[in-house]
Chains A and B, each alone.
Chain A
Amino acid sequence: MISGPTIRKDLSNNLRAAYARMWVRLRGSNRDPIALASEIGLPILTIGAYVILYHAIGLPASAGAAVIVGGAMIAFWTNVLWNMSSQWFWEREQGNLEMYMVAPVSRMSILLGMALGGSLNTAIRALGIVLLGIFVFQVPFQVRDPFSVGLVFFLTLAALYSLGMLFASLFMLYGREAWNTANLLQEPVYFLSGAYFPAIYAPIVPFGLQVAGSLIPMTIGLDAIRRLVINGASITSIWPEVLALIACILILFPLARHSLNYMESLGKKEGRLTLRWQ
Chain B
Amino acid sequence: MELLSETHLFLGPGLKRDLSIETKGLRRLFKGIPGKGDVVALDQVDLEVYDDEIFGLLGPNGAGKTTLIKILSTLLLPTQGEARIKGLDVVKQAPQIRRMINLVSGGETPGYGILSVKENLWFFSQLYGLPRDFAKDRITKLVDQLELQDYLNTRMAKLSTGYKQRLNLARGFVNDPALLFLDEPTLGLDVISARHLRTLVKGWIKTGGKTVLLTTHYMAEADQMCDRVGIINHGKILACDTPQRLKTKVAGGATWKIEITPNLSQPESVKSVQGVLGLSQNDNIETGITTLKLVLEDESVMSDLLSKIRDNGCKVLNMGKSEPTLEDVYISLVGTGLEE
B317 at the interface (CB under 8 A from A): no
Partner of B127, one of A28, A32, A100, A274: A100
Contact A101 B74 (CB under 8 A): yes
Tell which of B45-53, B98-106, B331-339 binds the partner.
B98-106
- Given that A95-B105, A95-B109 are contacting pairs, would A16 and B129 also be in contact in the complex, using a CB cutoff of 8 Å? yes
Q: In the complex, what residues of A have CB within 8 A of residue B105's CB?
A: 95, 98
B110 engages A96 (CB within 8 Å): yes
Report the separation of the CA atoms of residues A33 and B249 in the bound assembly, to the nearest whole angstrom: 64
A246 at the interface (CB under 8 A from B): no
Given contacts A28-B114, A32-B114, A98 and B126 within 8 Å (CB-CB): no
- Which B residues between 104 and 119 are near A, CB-CB below 8 angstroms? 105, 108-112, 114-115, 119
Q: Which residue of A lies closest to B130 (CB)?
A: A16
Asked whether B124 is an interface residue with its Cβ less than 8 Å from the other chain, the reply is yes
Tell me if B4 is interfacial: C-beta within 8 Å of chain A: no
Q: In the complex, which residue of chain B has the Cβ closest to the Cβ of A20?
A: B126
**Cα distance, A265 to B126, chains bound together (Å):** 24
Answer whether residue B256 sits at the interface, using C-beta atoms and an 8 A cutoff: no
A9-B129, A20-B122, A269-B77 known; A102-B108 Cβ under 8 A = no
User: Given A24-B112, A27-B119, A102-B75: A271 and B30 within 8 A (CB)?
Assistant: yes
Interface size class of B (residues with CB under 8 A): 20 to 34
Q: How far is the CA of A103 from the CA of B74 in the complex (A)?
A: 10
User: A103: which of B77, B108, B127 is its contact (CB, 8 Å)?
Assistant: B127
Chain B residues with CB under 8 Å of A273's CB are 75-76
- Contact residues in B for A41 (Cβ distance below 8 Å): none
Is B128 among interface residues, defined by CB-CB distance under 8 A? yes
B112, A28: Cβ atoms closer than 8 Å: yes
Q: Which of A23, A31, A101, A104 contacts B123 (CB 8 A)?
A: A23
Complex Cα gap A105–B130 (Å): 12
A205 at the interface (CB under 8 A from B): no
A12 to B85, CA, bound (A): 25
Among A13, A21, A102, chain B packs the most CB atoms within 10 A around the CB of: A102
Interface string of A97-131 (1 = CB under 8 A from B): 01111111100000000000000000000000000
Q: Evaluate whether A103 and B128 lie within 8 angstroms (CB atoms) in the complex, with A24-B123, A273-B75 already known.
A: yes
Residues of B within 8 A of A270 (CB): 31
Residue of B nearest to A113 (CB): B126
Contacts of A105 in B (CB 8 A): 127, 129
CA distance A94 to B122 in the complex (A): 18
Chain A minimum-CB-distance residue to B129 = A13
CB distance from A69 to the nearest CB of B (A): 32
Contact A27 B74 (CB under 8 A): no
Question: Is B217 among interface residues, defined by CB-CB distance under 8 A?
Answer: no
A176 on the interface (CB 8 Å rule)? no
Find out whether the CB atom of B110 lies under 8 angstroms from the CB atom of A95: yes
Known contacts A271-B76, A273-B75, A95 near B129 by CB under 8 Å: no
| B202 sits at the interface (CB 8 A) | no
B70 within 8 A of A: yes
Contact at B77–A20, with CB atoms within 8 Å? no
B171 CB contacts on chain A under 8 angstroms:
99
Q: CA separation between A21 and B126, bound complex, in Å?
A: 9
Query: Which residue of B has the minimal Cβ distance to A23?
Result: B123
B95 beta carbon closer than 8 Å to chain A: yes
B73 within 8 A of A: yes
Q: Nearest-CB distance from A32 to chain B (Å)?
A: 7
Q: Which chain B residues lie closer than 8 Å to A96 at the CB level?
A: 110-112
B128 / chain A contacts, CB cutoff of 8 Å:
13, 103-104
Give the Cβ gap from B193 to chain A, nearest Cβ, in Å.
19
Would A104 and B119 count as touching, CB distance under 8 A?
no
Docked CA distance A17–B123 (Å): 8
Nearest neighbor of B177 in chain A, beta-carbon distance: A102
CA distance A28 to B120 in the complex (A): 11
Query: Given A20-B123, A24-B123, are A102 and B74 also a contact pair (CB < 8 Å)?
Result: yes
Q: Once bound together, how far apart are the Cα atoms of A104 and B115, in whole Å? A: 22
Query: Please, which residues of chain B bring their CB within 8 A of the CB of A274?
Result: 70, 75-76
- Complex alpha-carbon distance, A16 and B115, angstroms: 18
Give Cα A255 to B9, complex, Å.
48
A258 interface residue (CB < 8 Å to B): no
Chain B, residues 129-150, CB within 8 Å of chain A (1/0): the string is 1000000000000000000000
**A104, B74: Cα distance in complex, Å:** 11
A19 in contact (CB, < 8 A): yes
Given contacts A24-B115, A271-B30, A273-B75, A99 and B129 within 8 Å (CB-CB): no
CA distance A27 to B109 in the complex (A): 19
Residue of B nearest to A35 (CB): B114
Q: Chain A 248-278, CB within 8 Å of chain B: the 1/0 string?
A: 0000000000000000010011110110000
Minimum CB–CB distance from A278 to chain B (whole Å) comes to: 14
Q: Out of B114, B124, B126, which one reaches A31, CB within 8 Å? A: B114
Cβ–Cβ contact B127 & A99, under 8 A: yes
**CA of A24 to CA of B120, assembled, Å:** 9
Contact call B103/A98, Cβ cutoff below 8 A = yes
- B residues contacting A by CB (< 8 A) are 30-31, 70, 73-77, 95, 98-99, 101-103, 105, 108-112, 114-115, 119, 122-124, 126-129, 171
A20-B123, A21-B123, A94-B109 are known contacts; what are 4 more A-B pairs with Cβ within 8 Å? A17-B126, A23-B123, A99-B110, A102-B103
7 example contacts (A-B, Cβ-Cβ < 8 A) are as follows A20-B123, A95-B105, A99-B124, A102-B101, A104-B129, A268-B74, A273-B76
| Closest 9 A/B residue pairs (Cβ) | A13-B129, A20-B126, A103-B127, A104-B98, A95-B110, A95-B108, A104-B99, A268-B77, A28-B114
